[in-house]
Structure 1
Amino acid sequence: MASATRAGHRWLKWVGFLCVLCAIAFAVVWYARNANGNEPALNTVAVSRGDIQNLVSATGVLEPSNYVDVGAQVSGQLELIHVRVGQPVSTGDLLAEIDPTVYVAKVDATRAQLKNQQAQLADRKAQLRLAEIQFQRQQNLWREDATTRESLQTSEASLASARAQLAMLEAQIEQTSSTLRAEEANLGYARIYAPMDGTVVSIEARQGQTLNASQTAPLLMRIANLSTMRVRAQVSEADVGKLQAGMRVYFTTLGDAEHKLYGELQYIEPTPEVTNNVVLYNALFTVDNQEGRLLPQMTAQVFFIQEEALDVLRVPVSAVARNQVKVLDAKGQPQIRAIETGISNRVYVEVRSGLNEGDQVVLANRDPRAGQGESRAAFRGMLR
């Protein structure tokens, strides 16, 4: 029994020894091949043509470039609303009506008062004419010593009084006429018209609601011009110094991330918004929206173009070291070549000279043979 156990142990040792020999043979062959000059495959990429941009990114929101809040200038019950949200309107279109009963009554009363004063005016003019005739008669009699001085003075005073009463009544008529114009204006304000071309984007009041315009004008609705939208982008204080009015900018929306819409930065608001100790500045620009695809409050991913080179030769940043690249020659061997570079970003470098479109350049990567010494040492330790 003991001899059988010892024979089994010897057999296991021989099997282990043979495995170690096979492993050593494989390692020798592998190392010999690499030592004989078989280089690892190179990671290359073709020189391409395209755009390079240095961008400052920000998040923004879309808003109408121009809008007006329509309010009520008179108090009363909102009788009718003639529009709905999303409806396009033109200047002068009837939007809503307030119950005009009270204002019609005021206009009628003021007009009646004015007619009464105009009738009084005709009477005053007749009395003035009579006073002028009587005074003229007294003057003629006085020249012929046919009347007394007292009678002449009385007629003269009557004439002056008639003239004063006429002037006073004319002033009252002017006042009443002014009041009538105001009452007619208030009656007109009971019908509310669109002050501009645009789209009804919100309605704040409800039909049948009682409006009180004694202190502030109640807000009825908002009309906005959606044919041109404004983007309000919030830029961090670290990036705002890179922006300047007139620079090109584009943005995408969450619903259409592939469609770029371009504009031009108009101005930066000097007063920042501070949220949770984060300082953000509003940068604004407008964009055409004739197709109506952009709507208020949409989120925009904004990119300010700090510098750009369009349709130029470019290579990945990882292929360039000190304005030099490795280019594969006709035999597929890498050759060092000096190039002239332009602008760059985190991805590409512009190539102004030294390369042609389609040239294969070597990307900087970790040599696959790196660390082989450590692996061999570990393998030798395992054999021990």
Structure 2
Amino acid sequence: MNVSIKQGKTRGQYGLMVVLLLIAGIGAYLGFKPKENDQNNQATVSVIVDDIEENVTAQGKLEPKEYVDVGAQVTGQLQKLYVDIGDDVKTGQLLVEIDPRVYAARVAADEANIKNLQAQLAGQEANVVFARQQFERYRELMKSKGVSEQDFQNSEFNLKKAVATAAAIQAQIEQVQSTLQGDRTNLGFTKIYAPIDGTVVTRTARLGQTLNANQTTPMILQLAKLDAMTVRAQVAEADVMRLKPGLPVYFTTLGAGDRRWHGEVRQIMPSPEVVNNVVLYNVLVDVDNHDRQLMSGMSTQMFFVLGSAKQVPLLPIAALGARVPEADNDQGRAYRVKAMTKAGEVLEKVVHVGLRNRRFAEIRDGIDVGAKVLSQARNGQQNDGKKKDRGYPTAGVPRL
């Protein structure tokens, strides 16, 4: 019985010793653990040397720079189609024929009417000659009182009437000639020729279809010059004021890998489009397409280059503190940063920033390359300052 009690005490003493040793170990660990930076457990980042590009990004759609919608100007049945989608055509090439019989009949009727009026005019001109001869004769006889005054007046009336009738017939001829010219024009419209060199990109009409041009011009096909394309990019109102005509641009497309197409801003459309209560402005960018890799309707990721610099000091955006507007100068905007000395002291400095993107800023002055700076970001948002910005041109093009 005494042996059991003694063994229980011994085990209790061992357990107490183990607990005391654990407490001592935890205390020692906490006492010797390296202390983190005071500013919300901030990490440090380094000033590195790399390339930077400041840009505005946007989504866009490709469309031909020059295109023509070829439509019918007369009503009739589509009788012949000489081209198909994808065909290259030259200016003046016959594309479409509409049934010409109705318009040919109108032209024939106008020509016959003109012949009839011309015959009437010839007869009336003969009457004018006769009336003028009679009038001249009676006028001579009036001098010797050889005819009565009434007969003389009748001859004058007949002459004027004959001249007026001839003029009326001439006016009718001119009217019918005008109608004939219009009918001939409509007859010519039954054959549609290519207005430009280009490629047939769409064809909406079908052979045998009746085209009604009385209210709207029915479109038959579209011709486009595909050697030059235009990107219609939609830029947010917060960014559009930073753009201007002539600004360099590059873009990527789905499926093209890392290939970039380069161009420049041609025009910023003044009227916006509102999509889901977001105001967007269309910015037009022209690009060469002689290799025909770009097609109408393709989606693009646009990069409007506001500025770029090679091998300059860079600091992660997370390390920039408060703005100091009163310290701005020609070098750029002023910001406060918390730099660490080799001794571990934290010094507050003012740096001037030039170009910047979403992750890095160009340091113009105020701190040297390699210096350690406290990050201003919370835990989980720090950047080690050693990797290139994977979403920007220093390391490739972002994916769509």
Tell me if both proteins adopt one fold, taking TM over 0.5 as the criterion.
Answer: yes
| Aligned residue number for residue 310 of structure 2 | 311
| Aligned residue number for residue 362 of structure 2 | 350
Gap change, CA 1:13 and 1:269, over 3 Å in 2: farther
| Aligned residue number for residue 48 of structure 1 | 49
Alpha-carbon distance in structure 2 between the residues aligned to 1:175 and 1:25: 116
Alpha-carbon distance in structure 2 between the residues aligned to 1:25 and 1:286: 68
Alpha-carbon distance in structure 1 between the residues aligned to 2:8 and 2:338: 65
Offset, 1:271:
3.8
Contact 1:319 1:361 in 2 (8 A): no
The equivalences for 1:131-150 within 5 A come to 131-150=131-150
Gap change, CA 1:133 and 1:242, over 3 Å in 2: closer
| 1:6-40 CA-partner distances (Å, limit 9, x unpaired) | 989979997997999799899979998989xxxxx
Gap change, CA 1:244 and 1:28, over 3 Å in 2: closer
Moved more, 18-27 or 293-302: 18-27
Offset, 1:335:
11
Contact 2:272 2:282 in 1 (8 A): no
Alpha-carbon distance in structure 2 between the residues aligned to 1:353 and 1:201: 55
Gap change, CA 1:34 and 1:274, over 3 Å in 2: closer
| Aligned residue number for residue 285 of structure 1 | 284
| Aligned residue number for residue 263 of structure 1 | 264
| Percent sequence identity over aligned pairs | 34
Offset, 1:296:
2.0
Residue type of the partner of 1:113?
N
| Aligned residue number for residue 370 of structure 1 | none
SS for the counterpart of 1:172 is helix
Work out whether 1:222 is the aligned partner of 2:233: no
Alpha-carbon distance in structure 1 between the residues aligned to 2:136 and 2:3: 172
Unaligned runs of at least 5 residues, structure 2: 36-42, 322-335, 377-400
In the comparison of the two structures, how many residue pairs are matched?
Answer: 350
SS for the counterpart of 1:266 is strand
| 1:328-349 CA-partner distances (Å, limit 9, x unpaired) | 89xxx99989795432333222
Alpha-carbon distance in structure 2 between the residues aligned to 1:43 and 1:324: 10
| Aligned residue number for residue 243 of structure 1 | 242
Alpha-carbon distance in structure 2 between the residues aligned to 1:252 and 1:289: 14
| 1:47-80 CA-partner distances (Å, limit 9, x unpaired) | 3231231x33322222233433221111111011
Gap change, CA 1:16 and 1:255, over 3 Å in 2: farther
Offset, 1:170:
0.4
Moved more, 24-33 or 103-112: 24-33
SS for the counterpart of 1:310 is strand
| Aligned residue number for residue 160 of structure 1 | 160
SS for the counterpart of 2:107 is helix
Offset, 1:145:
3.0
Contact 1:77 1:210 in 2 (8 A): yes
| Aligned residue number for residue 375 of structure 1 | none
Kindly name which structure, 1 or 2, has the bigger radius of gyration based on alpha carbons.
1
| 1:139-197 CA-partner distances (Å, limit 9, x unpaired) | 22222333333332232222112111110110011011001101100100101122333
| Aligned residue number for residue 195 of structure 2 | 195
Contact 1:251 1:261 in 2 (8 A): yes
Gap change, CA 1:244 and 1:151, over 3 Å in 2: same
Gap change, CA 1:228 and 1:13, over 3 Å in 2: farther
Offset, 1:255:
2.6
Contact 2:339 2:374 in 1 (8 A): no
Residue type of the partner of 1:308?
G
Alpha-carbon distance in structure 1 between the residues aligned to 2:212 and 2:66: 27
Alpha-carbon distance in structure 1 between the residues aligned to 2:366 and 2:65: 48
| Aligned residue number for residue 127 of structure 2 | 127
Alpha-carbon distance in structure 2 between the residues aligned to 1:365 and 1:342: 16
| Aligned residue number for residue 272 of structure 1 | 273
Alpha-carbon distance in structure 1 between the residues aligned to 2:117 and 2:148: 37
Residue type of the partner of 1:98?
I
Gap change, CA 1:92 and 1:241, over 3 Å in 2: closer
SS for the counterpart of 1:120 is helix
Contact 2:59 2:301 in 1 (8 A): yes
Gap change, CA 1:147 and 1:157, over 3 Å in 2: same
Contact 2:263 2:287 in 1 (8 A): no
| Aligned residue number for residue 329 of structure 2 | none
| 1:296-351 CA-partner distances (Å, limit 9, x unpaired) | 2211222334x42322413231567735756989xxx9998979543233322223
Alpha-carbon distance in structure 2 between the residues aligned to 1:80 and 1:12: 108
| RMSD between superposed Cα atoms in Å | 4.0
Unaligned runs of at least 5 residues, structure 1: 36-41, 367-384
Contact 1:268 1:281 in 2 (8 A): no
Contact 2:339 2:372 in 1 (8 A): yes
| 1:123-143 CA-partner distances (Å, limit 9, x unpaired) | 222221122222222222222
Residue type of the partner of 1:157?
F
Alpha-carbon distance in structure 1 between the residues aligned to 2:280 and 2:28: 66
